Amino acid sequence: MTTKNTLPISEARKKIFKIAEEIQKPGNYYTLTENGRPKVVLMSAEEFESWQETLEVMHDFPDLDKDIKEVDRAIKTGEYKKWATLDDLMAKYGYVLANKGKKKYGMGNKNQKKGAKRSR
């Protein structure tokens, strides 16, 4: 639920502590106006950080909505069962499962540099 409150800046000055408390609730924010026009929006620091993270993800993955739809279709049709697993991909790049019970990966002998120490 989003709660939007609009106040003139002069009114907000008088209620700043109450506003600061109110915007801590998820979805609450205030729009402060000057001469009847929106001037600034106040929201909690947590919500602001969440918005920033969302924008970063949208920038890094511009087709995320299409990718999600593709995965949804694959799940509904069962196509995802044909996809490579993490174990398949790790093996492709030379990693082998060192401890099957704990899913611990290590480099296969063929990919280790000569004289390199082996991790146990």
Given a cut of 80, whether residue 89 has pLDDT beyond it is yes
Per the listing, tokens 């000057």 go with 34
pLDDT at 32 over 60: yes
Ramachandran area for residue 86 (φ above 0: left; ψ -120 to 50: alpha; else beta)? alpha
Mean pLDDT to the nearest integer, 84-109: 73
Give 88 or 41, the one with higher predicted confidence: 41
What residues contact 3, with CB distance under 8 A and at least 6 apart? 22, 25, 27, 28, 29
Structure tokens at 54: 């969302």
Give me the architecture of the 3-54 domain, per CATH: 3-Layer(aba) Sandwich (3.40)
> At residue 110, does pLDDT exceed 80?
no
CATH 3.40.1620.10 region(s) of the chain?
3-54
Signed CA dihedral, 12, 14, 16, 19: sign only: negative
Per-residue confidence (pLDDT) for residue 29, from 0 to 100 = 95
Given a contact cutoff of 8 angstroms between Cβ atoms, the answer to whether 96 and 106 are in contact is: yes
Taking only the tens place, the pLDDT of each residue in 44-79 is: 999 999 999 999 999 999 999 999 999 999 999 999
